Structure 1
Amino acid sequence: MRESSTTTKLRVVFNGSQKTNAGHSLNDHLHVGPKILPELVSILLRWRAHAVVFSADMEKMYRQVLVHEEDRDLQRICWRKDSSLEINTYRLRTVTYGLTCAPFLAIRVLRQLAHDERDRFPIGASALSSDVYVDDVLSGADDITSALIKQNELIELLKAGGFTLRKWTSNTPELLEHLTPEVRATTTSIVWQPETFHMLGLSWQSSSDSFLFQLNTTKLQHPLTKRNVLSRIAQLFDPLGWLAPVVILAKIFMQSLWLLKLEWDDALPDEQVNRWIEIHSDLPAISNFRIPRWLGLNSSQQTVELHGFGDASQLAYAAVVYLRIIRDGQSSVTLVSSKTKVAPVKQVSLPRLELCAANLVTRLAKTILAMLKLDRPVHLWSDSTITLAWIRAHPTKWTTYVANRVADIQLSLPNAIWHHVESASNPADCASRGVLASDLQDHSLWWRGPEWLHEDANNWPSSPRKPPNDLPETRLTSHAVAEQIDEPYHLLTKYSNLTRLSRITAWCCRVNLTKNGKRNLTPALTPSEIAAALLRLIRVEQNRNFKTEIRLLESGQTPSKGQLLKLSPLLDDKGHLRVGGRLKNSLLDPDEKHPYILPSRSPLTKLLIEHYHKETLHGGVQLTLATLRQRYWVIGGRTAVKAVIHRCLICVRHRATTATQIMGNLPKARVTRARPFLHSGVDYAGPIYLRTAKGRGHKSYKAYIAVFVCFSTRAVHLEAVSDYTTDSFLAAFRRFVSRRGKCATLTSDCGTNFVGADAELRALLATTL
């Protein structure tokens, strides 16, 4: 029952989602169909572009579309007027409200009707394809004559398909004069009050040709919960974003409730209750808003520009688009649409949010251009110099987050002109920070845009300030660092084998000694030279990584903090850093009592671990680490050893698991009961050489064996085929078979006449042998 309806107050709704005893419903088995319904926003925007408009409603649209006779059995219903009567079964012959496919079927019929009648009613067919939202028709034209033609063609076109238009309304009485009172829209308002009609969720006043908002004045439900708050926010239906500064306050408040991690029916804290009471008590002021429907577009000589503004705060970012029309030297600015989004819960820098706002205004402007079918200049404004610098450069200069959005902006509207605007003159600032409804009513910046936008372009804000030199989010390309590296460390990073590294270092040391006047005429390196070269590399590595600790130990102090504190480090007589401890009086080797300390992330440490890993024949972590610690103590040694062993190719191959092949199904003969050897497999082996006994002087026999395997019992039957029939051969064959635990039958004959085999087997054996 709909009391507000002026025509059909009682409506029958069929529940196609009702589950049966089997757990299925009719809608579960019906396709939704592709989306062919235009966007609600596009219908409203195109309606605002016409100077003369009209609207109508199709009477019982679904009931005018017949369903194919074969499909009507799916639309059976049961009905009786009285409980004492028998239940009758009916079949619904038309598209039924409540089924999943109903919207698509009805709209698809309208599309087909427009296609079929396009030759007779071209203007009406175009309007039927683009200006209809379900059963509501919202269209118009630039003048009364064109509007009358379109209206008449729509009436005749829909009449050809069996549809009747009613509830006619218009901002021009001439369009309603030729219609009967029955098909005109009527309201129940008082005579001296202007008539207000509902248009796709919005209220439209035909006399003033303006939109208004009618919000239900409901009292707050106590206790206040997140469910109650969301229910109230959902009542703010604003498809074009005219109330964005008010709605964003509600969105931000709702996000704060999510951050508190409250359940749906938990009572709100006192601080949140007070904040919501402040927002809610101000909402009735929305009823005083009046938004002009007509944007001012027509076919006369005029200059049209689209201006979009973007702005962001720490809590939200917004975009708003205005239409600037210059006619006879006078300019008018009209609010077209806006969009808002709350900032992510995860903290995002303000420049990034400003870039998101710029991306949002770009997409919004592109959508409006497509919906209004405009090919006019687009001016986009931002109060962030960093964002403007990002947009005007190539995306590859910035990090991924910035580059993706800059690329989207540049590709969406490549010809857009970007400007800088001060924050005080940016209307998007109202939507990003929020404004109470009582303050928004007379907010000139929001409804009319900045004052300078009504003036000549020469009075617009000048070019933006020069962006900072050190722009954030710059992608790092390459860095060249000049560092003086001594020769031993250079050798560390050049070779991947410890033995080769030690020998090359020893040769370098010998050359240096020769230059200093000392000559070594030994043709080959001595072990002492190789050992000294390795110690030199250890000292270089320690000086690079433990410079502070070595300086303290040389001055007689003990390191009080750092990663060497637990090792009680000490310096030997040659300046090497070693592990301390209480093993000074033990009989162990000096290197075992006080091993050399090495860092974990070092080229030398890696070479030493690889060397001892190979020395232990690719030993595991424990063996490699124990061998290494007999002379060297690596900080975080276990982790370093694991990393090296993990990259060892030989160890990887040995650790690899063999692939297992998934076996196929067994053949029928293998899984079916049958007599032994009814289904058999046969294979042949040979030649096999048999000896009558061990040692020299005993004769060898050459034989071939036929192997028969029973598929059912898996029994094995062997037959030997040979040119020999002697007893010694037979005995040798029986010994051969008995060692393999098989039962065998011996058949032998000379030539190719094989005893005990059928004709097919004889031929096969003869060919094989």
Structure 2
Amino acid sequence: MHTAIDIDASLRRFWELEYVNQELHRKPENDEVEQHFLKIHTWDPKGRYIVELPFKDPNKQFSDTLTNGNSLNDALRIGPKNHGKEEVKTTALTTQEVILLSPIEALAQRVSSWTKMVRIAAYSLRFIQRIKAITSGTLTNCKGLTFEEMQAARILCLQDAQKCFKNDYNLLMENKPLQSRSQLIKLSRIISKDGLLQVGGRLDNSQLPADVKHPIFLPKSHSITRMILEHEHASNLHPGVSAFFVIIRQKYWVFGARNLIRNLVHNCIKFFRQRNQRAQEFMADLPGIRITEALPFQHSGCNYAGPFILKERSGRNARKIHCLSAS
């Protein structure tokens, strides 16, 4: 039995059933984008694909389009336009906090030597005192700096370095307990007559100098602390880490001193020049009788030790005996 099937009619009917009659709704923006694409995309005779940039026109800069109130879409001539509406601009302001430094802190940033800084501070204090003396009529002539002026300048610099302990200082002056996060909470502390924070300790009855009994507290991140360490390291002929740590503890109690000293010593060129290893002589070869197999007591030697001075008895007419030991 044979059945004739019209294949063309069946395929046409299949596609007509699958076709969805839906019209494409185009917006004006789609037409603008398509026209813009066709305008800036071209092919040259050599077959190269060329795209024109919107700010290639010298009469119209890209930055000018933004400053004139036009949006980015208007500059590219695509998308919806603002129709006369101005673009909302945002302005970002960058603020920087200005930290006012004290005269001593400003001087510490310009000077790299502890001795020079103390002398400059001493001359500044002298200038202030001479201005006061001129107004009061008690001006006296003095050429060089005195010990008292140098000591007053040194105390002034150390007081400025201890400003980070100001809260602890105020609590100690009011006889109140320190805060739990204070660096001085685990240490015995006192306030000297010069107004400096120092280690208390239990060495008041000793005959040690006052600086050794009560070292001065210093912060680890202050520039004055760095200058003091560099000065003491040069004054003590560039010692090593352990020796320099002991020397510093006799005058100052620096928080995190070992790390600071380690960095200072490792960056010191003179220290590395002084610690060159000395040449060591090679030992001679051992004698043949010491490394050759032999019978017992075939080769013998004598080792001496002494002399040891012995007393037979104490008192008058005591005799001394010199004893030698051999093996």
The alignment partner of 2:233 has SS state of helix
Q: Letter of the 2:92 partner, please give it.
A: D
Among candidates 158, 163, 181, match of residue 538 of structure 1: 158
Q: What does residue range 624-635 of structure 1 map to in structure 2 within 5 Å? A: 624-635=244-255
C-alpha distance in 2, partners of 1:392/1:460?
Answer: 15
1:18-48 deviations in Å (ceiling 9; x for gaps): xxxxxxxxxxxxxxxxxxxxxxxxxxxxxxx
* 1:250-399 map, 5 Å: 305=32, 323-325=33-35, 373=50, 375=52
The 5-angstrom pairing of residues 593-604 of structure 1 reads: 593-604=213-224
Deviations 1:705-756 (A, max 9, x none): xxxxxxxxxxxxxxxxxxxxxxxxxxxxxxxxxxxxxxxxxxxxxxxxxxxx
Which secondary structure state, in structure 2, belongs to the residue aligned with residue 633 of structure 1? strand
- 1:413-449 CA-partner distances (Å, limit 9, x unpaired): xxx96149xxxxxxxxxxxxxxxxxxxxxxxxxxxxx
Superposed CA RMSD: 4.5
Q: Which residue in the other structure is 1:615 paired with?
A: 235
Match of 2:111 in 1: 495
Q: Tell me what 2:92 maps to.
A: 470
Q: Distance in 2 between matches of 1:589 and 1:484?
A: 34
Contact 1:625–1:641 (CA<8 Å) still a contact in 2? yes
CA distance 1:564–1:377, change in 2 (3 Å):
same
1:233-265 Cα distance to aligned partner (Å, 9 max, x none): xxxxxxxxxxxxxxxxxxxxxxxxxxxxxxxxx
**What secondary structure sits across from 1:578 in the alignment?**
strand
Shift, 1:568, TM fit: 2.9
- How many residues of Structure 1 are paired with residues of Structure 2 in the alignment? 238
Question: How is 1:105-504 mapped onto 2 (pairs within 5 angstroms)?
Answer: 190=11, 192-194=13-15, 305=32, 323-325=33-35, 373=50, 375=52, 418-419=72-73, 462-467=85-90, 469-470=91-92, 481=98, 483=100, 485-486=102-103, 488-504=104-120
CA distance 1:460–1:541, shift in 2 (3 Å): same
Contact 1:616/1:623 (8 A) holds in 2: no
Return the TM-score normalized by structure 1.
Answer: 0.27
**Conserved in 1, the CA contact under 8 Å of 2:155 and 2:194?**
no
Task: Return the structure number with greater relative CO, CA threshold 8 A, min gap 6.
Answer: 2
What is the distance in 2 between the residues matched to 1:634 and 1:541? 11
Q: CA deviation at 1:501?
A: 2.1
2:188 is matched with which residue?
A: 568
CA, structure 1 residues 522+291, in 2 after alignment: closer, same or farther (shift >3 Å)? farther
Task: Specify the SS of the correspondent of 1:556.
Answer: coil
What is residue 549 of structure 1 aligned with on the other side?
168
Partners of 1:459 and 1:419 in 2: how far apart? 9
Partner residue in 2 for 1:638 = 258
Deviations 1:283-327 (A, max 9, x none): xxxxx9x999xx9xxxxxxx974xxxxxxxxxxxxxxxxx3349x
The answer for unaligned runs of 5 or more in structure 2 is 1-9, 56-62, 278-327
Q: Is 1:513 matched with 2:129?
A: yes
TM-score normalized by the length of structure 2: 0.57
The CA deviation at 1:530 is 1.9
Kindly indicate whether the alpha-carbon contact (under 8 Å) linking 1:609 and 1:624 is maintained by their aligned counterparts in 2: no
Residue 632 (structure 1) shift? 0.7
Give, in whole Å, the separation in 2 of the partners of 1:508 and 1:374: 71
Q: 1:520 to 1:470 in 2, by over 3 A?
A: same
Per-residue CA shift, 1:575-599, capped at 9, x if unaligned?
A: 1111223333333222112111111
Check whether the contact 1:509–1:533 (CA below 8 A) recurs between aligned residues.
Answer: yes
Q: Distance in 1 between matches of 2:131 and 2:82?
A: 80
Pair 573,464 (structure 1): closer, same or farther in 2 beyond 3 Å: same
Q: Is the 8 A contact 1:419 1:464 kept in 2?
A: no
Instruction: Tell me the CA shift for residue 534 of structure 1.
Output: 1.0
Q: CA deviation at 1:461?
A: 9.3
Q: Offset of 1:630 from its aligned partner? A: 0.5
Secondary structure of the corresponding residue to residue 493 of structure 1: helix
1:201 aligned partner: none
- Per-residue CA deviations over 1:124-167 (Å, capped at 9, x if unaligned) read xxxxxxxxxxxxxxxxxxxxxxxxxxxxxxxxxxxxxxxxxxxx
SS of residue paired to 1:563: coil
How far apart, CA to CA, are the structure 2 residues paired with 1:495 and 1:645? 20
User: Hey, what's the Cα distance between the residues in 1 that align with 2:252 and 2:214?
Assistant: 9
Residue matched to 1:578 = 198
Q: Please give the secondary structure, in 1, of the residue aligned with 2:154.
A: helix
In structure 1, C-alpha distance between the alignment counterparts of 2:154 and 2:173, rounded to whole Å: 22
**Partner letter of residue 594 of structure 1?**
H
Provide, for residues 362-405 of structure 1, a one-character-per-residue CA deviation record: whole Å limited to 9, x for no partner: xxxx9x88997554869xxxxxxxxxx9x969xxxxxxxxxxxx
Deviation, 1:533, is 1.9
- Any conservation in 2 of the 1:510–1:520 contact (CA below 8 Å)? no
Structure 1 CA distance, aligned partners of 2:82 and 2:120?
Answer: 76
- The residue number in structure 2 matching 1:670 is none
Secondary structure class of the residue paired with 1:525: coil
**Amino acid corresponding to residue 324 of structure 1 in structure 2:** E
- Aligned partner of 1:559 among 178, 187, 190: 178
> Which runs of 5 or more residues in structure 1 are unaligned?
1-188, 196-206, 209-287, 296-302, 306-322, 327-333, 335-365, 379-388, 394-415, 421-451, 658-769
TM superposition shift of 1:653: 5.8
Identity across the alignment (%)? 28
The 8 Å contact of residues 600 and 636 in structure 1, kept in 2 or not, is answered as yes
Q: Return the structure number with greater helix share.
A: 2
Deviations 1:59-105 (A, max 9, x none): xxxxxxxxxxxxxxxxxxxxxxxxxxxxxxxxxxxxxxxxxxxxxxx
Measured in 2, the distance between the counterparts of 1:516 and 1:565 equals 41
Secondary structure of 1:597's partner? strand
